[in-house]
A and B are shown apart, each in its own frame.
Chain A
Amino acid sequence: MSSFASYDDVHDRLGGVGYLTDEPIDTVVWLAQQLGKPILVEGPAGVGKTELAKAVAAARDADLVRLQCYEGLDEAKALYEWNYKKQLLRIQAGSADEGFDDVHDDIFGDDYLLERPLLRALRAERDTVLLIDEVDKVDFEFEALLLEILSDFQVTIPELGTVTGTRRPFVVLTSNNTRELSEALKRRALYLHLDYPSADREAAIVRSRVPEAADALVEQLVRVVRSLRALELRKAPSLSETLDWARTLVELGFEQVDDAALSRTLNVALKYHQDMATATKHLQVSPRPELN
């Protein structure tokens, strides 16, 4: 198993590893492979942005290299770093008649290089999926570095020369849209907006992930969640909350989503007291006395 053979192959194999796709996802994944471009996934939290990269890796039987972004992430953490301690030891252990050039050539060799995720993905021998998670968190300077890597798939290490990737990794960038990414980065990537799934797809996903749940329960649950999303909430329940909720209901032995089930388990889907109040009112659920 390696690359996807066709558009339909994408759909079948991602489905095979438990990631149910729709047409936009299939198309973008297929194009990303064919055109060799990264995918930029945006969308609300918990709709499966990170999961997509994992699913592609599983479906292609590829290694997943993950770079979790945060503020202040720099080259030393993301790309490569020289192993100073080891270099120092090597210098101290060296004999007196060794020339400067010998030592220099030695300590700036591969043995003393610490590979970080980006370099590891570039130099990987096997098929690799590179996941750059929450890319909107990084600083502008780092974004520029990413640009270089994503367009040419090569980096220049002053002491070693230019490292060109042996094979192009399949790159997935995710963003929670806390800030606008630069136009240049967006242009280099295929854009995929992952939104809350349609009712049918959401039900299908819940059924595949929580097979113990009865069909009627899933259908009702999806209906409730969709109704909650239409409200103005601080944090609307996402796909991952639907899954958690389904598991909770199954665990507690509820056969259907009725008043009792809602009032006992609504807190699984909603994270703010304010939201709970809004939802309780909207669905006219009897409130839990202990929450007031």
Chain B
Amino acid sequence: MPTGSDAAGATATTAGGGDGLFDRVLAFVGALRNGGITATQSEAIDAVRALGEVELLRRSQVREALAACTVSSASDRRTFDDLFDLYFPARRVPRDGDEVDPDLLGGDGEVDDDAFTQALLDALLGGDESAIRRMARQAVDAFGRVEGRDGQPSFFSYKVRRALDPHTLLDTLLEARGATDGDPAVQRLLRDEYEQRLDEFRKEVDAEIRRRAADRSDDLDDVATRVVRPSVDEVDFFRMTATESRELRAQIAPLARKLASRTQVKRRHGRDGRLDVRRTIRRSLATGGVPMDPAFKPRKPHKPELFVITDVSGSVASFARFTLMLVHSLQEQFAKVRSFAFIDTLDEVTALFEGREFDEAIRRMTAEADLVWLDGHSDYGHAFEVFHNTFIDDLTPRATVLILGDARNNYRASSSWVIEEMASRARRVLWLNPEAATYWGTGDSITGDYTRHVEEMVEVRNLRQLTDFVQELT
């Protein structure tokens, strides 16, 4: 329902200081572009036209209208929503303290922790989304505040999390619903459902914190650049939150499918191979023996044999995980995929990935494979020597070797002669490094020793770079 507090049109003028809706939309489109969404000029025009067709007092309509015109892939939507909240805030952020319900305040005017927790639990149990959101906003006000030096308060989600621990909340919720006994399936479902509600709560806390940050600053465009989170496929493998990691894993399968179909198209559209005499003669019968329409044999696609040698020590584990996952989902695009993992010694792990669920494979890899020799710190030199002793004869000119790791060798010997040997036997040797290229060769990183022998050392820090690389490989 159109209410005053929900009016996007009205707030457009309040938050930015006097500019009209039109200017606000243009500024918003500009922010989208800065955020990495390619909103073209014609899309901006459409967006303005679209606003003429919807009720400006209904914020969600305005949001969906702008999204339909400017966003053109699902992964951009997150950035869009963040920025929309900034440029078209749902309501004015209240000034100090008046956010929290008076019922939840103790006698001294401070927030009563127990009462607040109880109210939050009630909201979560009820499952009404708007109630959960309202509690989230209040929680930010009540617990998230940190007084800055200049007297301006800032808000942080970790403060909220500390005051209202999600795990404790979940346990309390489950207990309240009596889910600790009874049917295990029912328990599981309840747990899933409450986890989703808690997730909703957490998201709204984050959103509220962004809104407050926006409200404090006068320069919206400046806030926009700070607020925009990189899209999931640009998040650094090293700095990934658990949620982002989950989102990313969900993207791997569709991505592999997409890569595979692209490769097939590429292969089909490649030039034809040698003349197919048999089919040409056959066809020529239709034209009285004159071969007017020669037939060619399709070229045999080159399918590389892939040897993936990956460092799975703590520092690069998440990167190794994603690469292994992607490579194994693309198995059909390669003649053969063999995987080797190492920490300070190396073992083949190919069999673990065959027809098994990926998490399981990773778990068994750490449990069963023989990866630690001495102290469990990365030792590239020793791992490569082991590879040389056991597997070097398997490398043929059809093989492509992928080495994954940051080449941080804890000041041990590099044994780069093994790489040289690999390069002479295999078709290509490529190195994927999850570290930013500017840090290569600093500290205990010995990239220099290896780059001399590999065809290329590629910086692969996020899913997008990984995708580009794999696409080039197939």
A residues adjacent to B (C-beta < 8 A)? 7, 23-24, 26-28, 30-31, 34-35, 37, 40, 42-43, 139, 177-180, 183, 186-187, 190-193, 195, 220, 223-224, 226-227, 230, 232, 234, 258-259, 262, 274, 278, 282-285
Chain B positions within 8 Å of A258 at CB level: 183, 185
Distance of B115 from chain A, by nearest CB (Å):
29
> Shortest 7 CB-CB distances between A and B: which pairs?
A27-B64, A284-B184, A227-B192, A186-B72, A190-B68, A34-B53, A193-B74
- The closest CB in chain B to the CB of A42 belongs to B74
B72 adjacent to A191 (CB under 8 Å): yes
Chain B positions within 8 Å of A24 at CB level: 64, 67-68
Q: A193-B74, A232-B249, A258-B183 are in contact. Are A31 and B68 (CB under 8 A)?
A: yes
B258 adjacent to A177 (CB under 8 Å): yes
B40 adjacent to A284 (CB under 8 Å): no
Q: B23-31, B42-50, B92-100, B297-305: which lies at the A interface?
A: B42-50
A193 vs B72: C-alpha distance in the bound complex, in angstroms?
A: 9
A223 vs B357: C-alpha distance in the bound complex, in angstroms?
A: 24
Q: A177-B254, A227-B188, A259-B185 are in contact. Are A274 and B54 (CB under 8 A)?
A: no
A178 adjacent to B193 (CB under 8 Å): no
Q: Name the contact of B65 in the complex, choosing from A27, A43, A180, A183 (C-beta under 8 A).
A: A27
Interface size on B, residues (CB 8 A): 43
User: Can you give 28 contacting A-B residue pairs, CB < 8 Å?
Assistant: A23-B60, A27-B61, A27-B65, A30-B54, A31-B65, A31-B68, A31-B69, A34-B53, A35-B49, A177-B258, A179-B261, A179-B265, A180-B73, A183-B38, A186-B72, A187-B72, A191-B73, A193-B71, A193-B74, A193-B77, A223-B192, A226-B193, A232-B359, A259-B185, A262-B185, A274-B357, A284-B187, A285-B185
A179 adjacent to B188 (CB under 8 Å): no
Chain A positions within 8 Å of B74 at CB level: 42-43, 193, 195
A223 adjacent to B193 (CB under 8 Å): yes
Q: Name the contact of B357 in the complex, choosing from A192, A230, A278 (C-beta under 8 A).
A: A278
B46 adjacent to A23 (CB under 8 Å): no
Q: A177-B258, A232-B249 are in contact. Are A31 and B50 (CB under 8 A)?
A: yes
CB 8 Å contact bits of B338-359 with A (1 = contact, 0 = none) = 0000000000000000000111
- The closest CB in chain B to the CB of A235 belongs to B253
B42 adjacent to A187 (CB under 8 Å): yes
Distance of A170 from chain B, by nearest CB (Å):
15
Q: Does B250 contact A (CB under 8 A)?
A: yes
A30 adjacent to B53 (CB under 8 Å): yes
- The closest CB in chain A to the CB of B41 belongs to A187
Chain A positions within 8 Å of B61 at CB level: 7, 23, 27
Chain B positions within 8 Å of A278 at CB level: 357
A180 adjacent to B258 (CB under 8 Å): yes
Q: A31-B50, A37-B46, A178-B261 are in contact. Are A191 and B68 (CB under 8 A)?
A: yes
CB 8 Å contact bits of B244-261 with A (1 = contact, 0 = none) = 000001100110011001
Chain B positions within 8 Å of A180 at CB level: 73, 258
- The closest CB in chain A to the CB of B74 belongs to A193
Distance of A191 from chain B, by nearest CB (Å):
5
Chain B positions within 8 Å of A23 at CB level: 60-61, 64
B residues adjacent to A (C-beta < 8 A)? 38, 40, 42-43, 46, 49-50, 53-55, 60-61, 64-65, 67-69, 71-74, 77, 183-185, 187-189, 192-193, 196, 249-250, 253-254, 257-258, 261-262, 265, 357-359
A191 adjacent to B71 (CB under 8 Å): yes
A7 adjacent to B54 (CB under 8 Å): yes
Chain A positions within 8 Å of B257 at CB level: 178
B185 adjacent to A191 (CB under 8 Å): no
Distance of B41 from chain A, by nearest CB (Å):
10
A62 vs B186: C-alpha distance in the bound complex, in angstroms?
A: 46
Distance of A192 from chain B, by nearest CB (Å):
6
B185 adjacent to A234 (CB under 8 Å): no
B60 adjacent to A191 (CB under 8 Å): no
A224 vs B254: C-alpha distance in the bound complex, in angstroms?
A: 23
Chain B positions within 8 Å of A34 at CB level: 50, 53
A284 vs B359: C-alpha distance in the bound complex, in angstroms?
A: 18
Chain A positions within 8 Å of B189 at CB level: 220, 223-224, 227, 283
Distance of B46 from chain A, by nearest CB (Å):
7
Q: Name the contact of B40 in the complex, choosing from A187, A190, A223 (C-beta under 8 A).
A: A187
A2 vs B258: C-alpha distance in the bound complex, in angstroms?
A: 39
- The closest CB in chain A to the CB of B252 belongs to A232
A139 vs B184: C-alpha distance in the bound complex, in angstroms?
A: 50
A23 vs B71: C-alpha distance in the bound complex, in angstroms?
A: 16
Chain B positions within 8 Å of A26 at CB level: 64
Chain B positions within 8 Å of A220 at CB level: 189
A183 vs B262: C-alpha distance in the bound complex, in angstroms?
A: 17
A35 adjacent to B188 (CB under 8 Å): no
Chain A positions within 8 Å of B359 at CB level: 232
A179 adjacent to B193 (CB under 8 Å): no
A28 vs B73: C-alpha distance in the bound complex, in angstroms?
A: 15
B250 adjacent to A232 (CB under 8 Å): yes
A26 vs B265: C-alpha distance in the bound complex, in angstroms?
A: 36
A28 adjacent to B43 (CB under 8 Å): no
A278 vs B55: C-alpha distance in the bound complex, in angstroms?
A: 46
- The closest CB in chain A to the CB of B46 belongs to A35
Distance of B15 from chain A, by nearest CB (Å):
23
B68 adjacent to A28 (CB under 8 Å): yes
Distance of B56 from chain A, by nearest CB (Å):
12
A139 vs B265: C-alpha distance in the bound complex, in angstroms?
A: 9
Chain A positions within 8 Å of B43 at CB level: 187
Chain A positions within 8 Å of B50 at CB level: 31, 34-35
Distance of B71 from chain A, by nearest CB (Å):
6
Distance of A8 from chain B, by nearest CB (Å):
9
A284 adjacent to B262 (CB under 8 Å): no
A282 vs B249: C-alpha distance in the bound complex, in angstroms?
A: 18
A183 vs B233: C-alpha distance in the bound complex, in angstroms?
A: 19
A90 vs B226: C-alpha distance in the bound complex, in angstroms?
A: 72
A192 adjacent to B68 (CB under 8 Å): yes
Distance of A183 from chain B, by nearest CB (Å):
7
Chain A positions within 8 Å of B64 at CB level: 23-24, 26-28
A23 vs B55: C-alpha distance in the bound complex, in angstroms?
A: 13
- The closest CB in chain A to the CB of B64 belongs to A27
A sample of 10 more A-B contacts (CB under 8 A), given A27-B68, A178-B261, is A180-B73, A191-B71, A220-B189, A223-B192, A226-B196, A227-B192, A230-B192, A230-B196, A284-B184, A285-B185
- The closest CB in chain A to the CB of B360 belongs to A278
A148 vs B359: C-alpha distance in the bound complex, in angstroms?
A: 47
Q: Name the contact of B253 in the complex, choosing from A30, A193, A234, A262 (C-beta under 8 A).
A: A234
Chain B positions within 8 Å of A193 at CB level: 71, 74, 77
Chain B positions within 8 Å of A177 at CB level: 254, 258
